[in-house]
Amino acid sequence: MASEEQISAIKGAKVLMVGAGGIGCELLKTLALSGFQDIHIIDMDTIEVSNLNRQFLFRQSHVGQSKAKVARDAVLRFRPNISITPYHANVKESRFNVDFYKEFDVVLNGLDNLDARRHVNRLCLAADVPLVESGTTGFLGQVTVHLKGKTECYECQAKPAPKTYPVCTITSTPSKFVHCIVWAKDLLFAKLFGDKNLENDLNVRSSDATNLSEHSEDVFECRKGEDIEQYGRRIYDHVFGHNIEVALSNEETWKNRNKPWPIYSKDVFPDKLTKENGKTEKGSTTEDVSAMASLGLKNPQDVWSLAENSRVFYESLRLFFSKRQKEIGNLTFDKDDQLAVEFVTAAANIRASSFGIPLHSLFEAKGIAGNIVHAVATTNAIIAGLIVIEAIKVLKKDSNNYRMTYCLEHPSKKLLLMPVEPYEPNKSCYVCSETPLSLEVNTHHSKLRDFVEKIVKAKLGMNFPVIMSGASIIYEVGEDLEEDMVAIYAANLEKALSELPSPVISGTVLTVEDLQQEFSCLINIKHREEFDEEKEPDGMLLSGRVEAPVDKNSNKPIGNGESTSSALSTEEIQEGERDVEIQETSESAENVTGKKRKLSEVSKGSIPDHSGLPDESSRNQNQLEKLDVDDEDDELIISNDWESLTKKKRL
């Protein structure tokens, strides 16, 4: 039975939920059934068919509607006497500022991306409001508690960065199917359907003078009088034939590699594509904006042949130009856009055929292109329950019993739920401890735009940055700026750092702040002449952030990806939940066996022991034992003595 103190804390609490997806639906239900009376929800998404298998508050009739609003209505049907306020909006909107966050007793995150998580973390720090973070990936998940000045913040430990691939590998020497997907999605799709001014490496020019006239112009521009079939064949021949021929001309590249083979439309297409597809060239009556539907391909888990991929490539291109002409020029790849997924799958498979890489089904290709790890409804429910448990502790100010809890796929010491004590704030954290950062950059070549896009926005997660060199503002974003200032800052973006009105050179200290987040940091600039294009593609190197360590006794990092600060599982847990979107990571996540200090170690001076497992004396205390994935006797232990399971031994 809940105590009077607990009941009072729950009923009097004003709670902010961010995210109404898989975790969010479970969380809202659990909050309502636990007695919470005043709940606010922010979510910018609308309901999609793919959500229905696990986001149980939604039905087929709700597709296209606001997640936050439908979730509210669904819960009020069985808890009509509570207050639920939905916001169908982006959590980064200016109205959700520090003053807004100060209205709440606790913030509960059920987000699916790193950028939004960082934003909420900073606003909670600025408002001094407790944050309970969460994330799931398949059977894995975690819940972490963050209180300003008492525990580490969400950004105290570095999160794995998205995996990037060298441009030369993507454009010239792919060896994995993911390389073909990146090429099809980020280069070909973007060139055909995105910004027409986009520059990329697809416009390969022939060195043969006889081909100069044919390949001297932008081959991706539709020529006057050219119909869609002629255009489709020409694009096909250029990217899968001509570009491969050009690549083969560099014999040095293929000395130790298998040579690709050029593929031309005449080798795989019939003489008349429209006849083969059962359509007339004009006036098709099909209402299916899907190449698969047009071609009668029904199973997305089938692996198409080269000929089938070629037909899907042409048909999806035709449908874009005939059915979605108005969107061309502004499209970006979306994993929920069926036609886009079909085009990318077909293009990637044709390229894979050329380079001798195994082909993949549309289902597999969509997972790679959309960075999807499929969510498990049961895991979401477990994580939602753990969030509420920690929220109640926070409301009761029961800091001695706060736990960061990890849901493991394979039991360790017969535990599927592994709770550990929170860690103290990291003194090297540039967010909550205001530790200066360092940036190595070629100040003569790199423009201010590069610094803003690659560092301030991408690395530091600022949305409305103000950049100052001493007392001079060199860049600012804001709705209330005068037109002349907007023009000045726009001009500054195109200048090299050393050519700015207040030159940024080696030794300059920049102050970068985001007024909406009420967050600022210092960056020490160090000039560097050259960078390795493959290892340092940004041409800049940011340091001073805490890097996530790797377990030296293992061949792979132990971590949980982007969704928390530390880890227990020997498998990587990636951040996210909404059909969980992840990206391959190049950094490891924090190992729980590392050298951070728990709060109790700081206050009581006990000997560090971070394993958090019972019976540590039976093995090495600095390393988690390898999980036995074949153990048929694995079971969940429910214990009344969590004290002995979750606290370290003391002398």
Contacts with 574 (C-beta within 8 Å, 6 or more apart), sequence order: 137, 160, 373, 560, 561, 562, 563, 580, 582, 583, 585
Domains of the chain: 4-160+374-420 (3.40.50.720), 167-206+221-271+286-370 (1.10.10.520), 437-543 (3.10.290.20)
Q: What was the pLDDT predicted at 137? A: 86
Which of the given ranges, 100-109, 211-220, 603-612, has the highest pLDDT on average? 100-109
**DSSP code of residue 623:** S
**Apex CA 23: angle with CA 19 and CA 24, to 5°?**
40
Could you give phi then psi for residue 597, rounded to 5 degrees?
Answer: -105, 135
Task: Find tokens 């694009």 and name the residue.
Answer: 235
Whether 117 has a binding-site annotation, put simply, is: yes
Task: Find tokens 């960061």 and name the residue.
Answer: 404
Contacts with 627 (C-beta within 8 Å, 6 or more apart), sequence order: 408, 410, 411, 412, 569, 570, 571
The answer to whether 34 and 395 are in contact (CB under 8 A) is no
Active-site option among 168, 222, 407, 521: 168
Distance, CA of 110 to CA of 142 (rounded, Å): 11
Q: What was the pLDDT predicted at 340? A: 94
Distance, CA of 400 to CA of 171 (rounded, Å): 54
Distance, CA of 582 to CA of 578 (rounded, Å): 10
From the list 622, 611, 623, the residue with the least C-alpha distance to 649 is 611
From the list 568, 597, 566, 595, the residue with the least C-alpha distance to 159 is 566
Whether 53 has a binding-site annotation, put simply, is: yes
Q: Which residue has the higher pLDDT, 183 or 167?
A: 183
Mean pLDDT throughout 366-393? 90
Whether 52 has a binding-site annotation, put simply, is: yes
Whether the pLDDT of residue 549 is over 60: the answer is no
The answer to whether 83 and 75 are in contact (CB under 8 A) is no
Q: Which residue has the higher pLDDT, 85 or 643?
A: 85
Active site residue 180: no
Question: Sheet holding 415-420: strands in order across?
Answer: 83-87, 38-42, 14-18, 106-109, 131-137, 140-146, 404-412, 415-420
Whether 222 has a binding-site annotation, put simply, is: no
From the list 457, 472, 545, 467, the residue with the least C-alpha distance to 510 is 467
**Three-state SS at 525:** strand
Whether the pLDDT of residue 572 is over 50: the answer is no
Whether the pLDDT of residue 327 is over 60: the answer is yes
Q: What was the pLDDT predicted at 74? A: 97
pLDDT band at 288 (very low <50, low <70, confident <90, very high): low
Whole-number average pLDDT of the chain: 79
Whether 13 has a binding-site annotation, put simply, is: no
User: How many other C-beta atoms can be found within 10 angstroms of the C-beta atom of residue 344?
Assistant: 30
Whether 279 has a binding-site annotation, put simply, is: no
Whether 67 has a binding-site annotation, put simply, is: yes
Whether the pLDDT of residue 272 is over 90: the answer is no
Extract the tokens encoding 113. 């991306």
Q: What was the pLDDT predicted at 629? A: 28
Listed range (155-169, 244-258, 383-397, 588-602) with the worst mean pLDDT: 588-602
Judging by DSSP bridges, how do beta strands 415-420 and 404-412 pair with one another? antiparallel
